[in-house]
Structure 1
Amino acid sequence: MKLLARILRYQIMTSLLVLFLGAGLFFVSVRYLIDDEVNKELLNSQIKVSWQLRNIDALPVYILQLGDSLQLDAVRYPRRPILREKLLYNIAENQYHPYRQLIFYERVEGQWYKVTISKLLVQRQQLMNAVVMTVTFIVALLLISLLVLNSVLSGRIWRPFNKTLAALDQYQLEKHEVLKFPEEETEEFEKLNQSVTQLTERLATTYQNLKEFTENAAHEIQTPLAVILSKIEGLFQDETLTESQLIALSEVSEAANRLSKLNQALLLLTKIENRQFLAGTEPVNLSPIINRKLRDLEDLIDQRRINIKTELQPTGPVMHPALAEVLVNNLLTNAIRHNLQNGSILIALSTGKLEVKNTGNAINGNPEQLFERFRKDTSQSASLGLGLALVKTICQVNGQTLSYNIENEWHVLTVTWQ
């Protein structure tokens, strides 16, 4: 959920809570004031009625206000006076009305009387309801106005932050970009933009230094390796070497070749991750690349007596042609290297999917762990453990999906794209 939407939701919830609590509190307060006023009037009426009962034979009709009523009932014993509300039926209007009643007891000429004074509450309740509704409406209108105003102001205030966020989403380190922003009036956002600018400057500098170091290191390592391999080739021509010396020299040559391949693979992996290959603009047809790589690997295929079956359509993803070559080469090399003697390979290329199946030994654990660098099958010590890591990196850079599944004796590598 977006921050502004979350803030607005909390504000609405808080405003509604304040509105309901405020309206309830105001209603209780007004109700209390009206009840208190009615109680005072009833007590004043009690004083008048008590005085007239003791001093006058008949009560005058104007002792109570319009709508009020007075009732006298003879009783044997007095009780405690009470105040209560009660609905009484009005014969004239044929409906019930709320009344506030005061019941007390007076002794007149040796006889106890129960005196009930009833005060009509219709007008007071109508007034109370009108006041409460009016005030509630005003408060609700005020809260809605504040929410609308706050929403509009929040959108304007957070606009620079959204611009900065959009710029960060589109930021590409490999282009050596340094993000710069126009000056903002809000101090906090101005500091944020300055921090982002300084951060991208440091990132661009660090990235450039790392790139130069990688390229220089790979170049400097490759040169002495080439010299070593050349010297080894020359030593092989020396007829005075003993058999043990030739074996040791052969092991040195194998290690030097392995180191040279490792250096080239790591350099290629770094270049791919740093996006030094330009993004493709058109789909690359993988079908001729697959056929060409199969011809290049024909000797290795024949040596292991592997049966190849292909179902190829002229299609492929949008990517750099050089990366397409590496992708196909590593998938096929992996299928051959980790296959069984007299095994099989099935290659299917269709719209949006390349699938390479090969027979092979069972592996322990999650097969997708083989996408990690230097992760390999222990029985294949000659492998660098970078082939599938290169394939995974190429797929990530180009927005493709790579999966590894095992179906009975088949190891299935699948590359999908939109």
Structure 2
Amino acid sequence: MKLLERILKYQIVTSLCVLTLGAVLFYFSVDYLIDREVNKELMRSKAKVSWQLRHINELPVYILQLGDSLQLDQVRYPGQMALVERKLFNEFENEYQPYRQLIFYERVEGAWYRVTISKLLAQRQQLLEAVVMTVTFIVALLLISLLLLNSWLSRRLWRPFYKTLRALDSYQVEKHEVLTFPKQHTVEFEQLNQSVTHFTDRLAATYQNLKEFTENASHEIQTPLAVILSKIEGLFQDESLKESQLVALSEISEAANRLAKLNQALLLLTKIENRQFLAGTEPISLVPIINRKLRDLEDLIEQRGITVKTAIEPTGPVMHPALAEVLVNNLLTNAIRYNVNGGTIDIALNAGKLVVRNTGAPIHIDPELMFERFRKEGTHSASLGLGLALAKTICQVNGQTLTYETDGPWHILTVTW
């Protein structure tokens, strides 16, 4: 949910609660005031009736309001004054309507009379209904106006924030860009833009330093390694060396070659993560790459007695050709290295998917952990433990997904795009 939508949601809930509570309080306040006014009218009518009975001994009709009625009944003993509500038949409206009655007792010429003043409450109900409808309309109109105003103001006020977000979305550190923004009148947005500018400035500088360090480190490591390997090759030509010395030289040569491969793999991994390879612009076919790599690995496949089955179509993802070469090479090399003698490799390539299946020994860890750097299952001295990590990184930076799963003796690597 977007920030503006969340703000609008809370505003709606808060406004509804506040306005509803206000409407309820207003309704009960009006009801209380009307109820009190009705009681006052009844008490004023009582005072008039009592005065008439004591001084004039007759009751003119005009002392009561329209719709009210007065009834006198002679009784033997007086009672308590009471206020009651009941429905009485209204002859003018020809229906039963609610009335409030004030019952009190007066002594006239030595006799007690029960006086009942009935006041029609229909007007009170109509007034309350009108109040409810008016308040409901005002609340709805106020709420809609408030929401529309807040929505318009929010979009207008948050426009610089969304501009900053769009600039960050399109930011590419490999282009050494430093984001700059026009001055804002809102202090918070101005602080945000300044922070983003400083951050991208430092990020571009850090990226450049890392790139230079990687290139320099690779060059500085490769040079002494080349010298070491060259000297070792020269020592192998020395016929005066003993067998134990030749074995030691062989181990040194193997370690140096392994270090050279490790340096190249880490350098390639760093370049891919730093997106130093240009992104592909159109899909490339993996068919020629797969066929070429199978030819390159043919001797190793025959040596292990592995059967290779292919079902490939001329399709492939959008990717830099060099990265596609590395991806296919690592997947096939992994399928051969961790296969069993006399095993099988199935390669399936169709629209949106490349699947490489190979037989092999069961693994005892989560298959997803195999994508970690230097993670190896089993003892393979020739493996650096970077092949699948490199393949995973290539897929991630190019928008593809790489998964590893097992199905009985089968190990399945799937690239989807």
After TM superposition, the score normalised by the length of structure 2 is: 0.95
Report the CA distance between 1:414 and its aligned residue.
1.0
**Superimposed CA distance per residue, residues 368-395 of structure 1 (whole angstroms, 9 cap, x where no aligned partner):** 2111100011322331000011110111
Report percent identity of matched pairs: 76
1:85 equivalent to 2:74? Answer: no
- Give the aligned partner of residue 302 of structure 1: 302
Indicate the SS of the match to 1:314.
Answer: coil
CA distance in 2, matches of 1:92, 1:114: 25
Aligned-partner residue type, residue 403 of structure 1: T
1:358, 1:411 within 8 Å by CA — same for their partners in 2? yes
* Equivalent residue, structure 2, for 1:18: 18
- Higher mean alpha-carbon deviation, 339-348 vs 48-57, is at 48-57
- Could you say which residue in structure 2 is the equivalent of 1:244? 244
Contact kept, 8 Å, 1:19 with 1:140, in 2: the verdict is no
1:29-48, aligned counterparts within 5 Å? 29-48=29-48
Cα distance, 1:2 vs structure 2: 0.9
- How far does residue 344 in structure 1 lie from its aligned partner after superposition? 1.1
Q: Deviations over 1:307-343 (max 9, x none)?
A: 1111121211111111111111111110110010111
Does the C-alpha gap of structure 1 residues 413 and 140 become closer, same or farther in structure 2, counting only changes over 3 Å?
Answer: closer
Structure 1 residue 75: deviation in Å? 4.0
Show the counterpart of 1:411.
Answer: 411
Please give the alpha-carbon distance, in whole angstroms, between the structure 1 residues aligned to 2:288 and 2:129: 86
Matched AA of 2:149: L
Question: Which residue type is aligned with residue 33 of structure 1?
Answer: L
Change (3 A) 1:285 1:113: same
213-222 vs 231-240, which moves further: 231-240
**Residues 19 and 136, structure 1, Cα contact 8 Å, conserved in 2:** no
- SS of the aligned residue for 1:284 comes to coil
Alignment-derived partner of residue 211 in structure 1: 211
Deviations 1:179-209 (A, max 9, x none): 1112222222112111101110000000110
Q: C-alpha root-mean-square deviation of aligned residues, in Å? A: 1.8
1:43: Cα distance to partner? Answer: 1.2
Mark the CA change 1:406 to 1:138 in structure 2 (over 3 Å): closer, same or farther: closer
Shift of 1:139: 4.7
Aligned residue runs from structure 1 range 83-162, under 5 A: 83-108=83-108, 111-162=111-162
Partner Cα distance (1:89, 1:187) in 2: 71
Name stretches of at least 5 consecutive residues in structure 1 with no aligned partner.
none
Deviation at 1:277, TM superposition (A): 0.9
Q: CA deviation at 1:346?
A: 1.1
Match of 1:228 in 2: 228
**Deviations for 1:99-119, whole angstroms, at most 9, x for unmatched residues?**
221122334455543321111
Q: Is the 8 A contact 1:100 1:120 kept in 2?
A: yes
1:377-388 alignment runs, 5 A limit = 377-388=377-388
Query: Which deviates the most, 373-382 or 157-166?
Result: 373-382
The alpha carbon displacement at 1:59 in A equals: 2.5
1:225 is displaced (CA, Å) by 0.6
1:70 Cα deviation after fit: 1.2
Report the counterpart of residue 195 of structure 1 in structure 2. Answer: 195
- In the TM superposition, residue 262 of structure 1 has moved relative to its aligned partner by 0.3
Structure-1-length-normalised TM-score = 0.94
The alpha carbon displacement at 1:178 in A equals 1.1
| In structure 2, C-alpha distance between the alignment counterparts of 1:311 and 1:275, rounded to whole Å | 32
**Once the 2 structures are TM-superposed, how far is the Cα of residue 221 of structure 1 from its aligned partner?**
0.5
Q: Alpha-carbon deviation of 1:146?
A: 2.9
Provide the secondary structure at the position in 2 that maps to 1:385.
Answer: coil
Amino acid at match of 1:259: L
Aligned to 2:402: 402
State the partner residue of 1:376: 376
Output the CA distance in 2 between the equivalents of 1:35 and 1:359: 90
Which residue pairs with 2:339 in the alignment? 339
Higher mean C-alpha displacement, 391-400 vs 109-118:
109-118
- The structural deviation recorded for 1:56 is 4.3
Q: CA deviation at 1:406?
A: 0.9
Matching residue of 2:274: 274
Q: Counterpart of 2:356 in 1: which secondary structure? A: strand
User: Aligned ranges for residues 162-177 of structure 1 at < 5 Å?
Assistant: 162-177=162-177
Rounded Cα–Cα distance in structure 2 between residues aligned with 1:173 and 1:84:
83
Answering whether residue 285 of structure 2 is matched by residue 257 of structure 1, we say no
How far, CA to CA, are the matches of 2:269 and 2:238 in structure 1? 38
Q: Which residue of 1 is the match for residue 70 of structure 2?
A: 70
Alignment pair present for 1:348 and 2:375: no
Q: Deviation of residue 294 (structure 1)?
A: 1.1
User: How many angstroms does 1:33 deviate by?
Assistant: 1.6
Question: How much does 1:303 deviate?
Answer: 1.3
Larger mean CA deviation between 49-58 and 59-68 belongs to: 49-58
Describe the shift of the 1:139–1:347 C-alpha distance in structure 2 as closer, same or farther (beyond 3 A): closer
For residue 122 of structure 1, report the CA deviation from its aligned partner.
2.7
SS in 2 for 1:388: helix
- How much has 1:142 moved relative to structure 2? 3.5
Given that 1:402 and 1:413 are in contact with CA atoms closer than 8 Å, whether structure 2 keeps it comes out as: yes
Look up the SS of the partner of 1:8 in the other structure: helix
How far the C-alpha of 1:128 sits from its partner, in A, is 4.4
How many pairs are equivalent? 417
Which residue number corresponds to residue 362 of structure 2?
A: 362
Code of the residue aligned with 1:95 in structure 2: it is E
Q: What do residues 57-97 of structure 1 show as CA deviations (whole Å, max 9, x unaligned)?
A: 43332332221111223445444322233222112321222
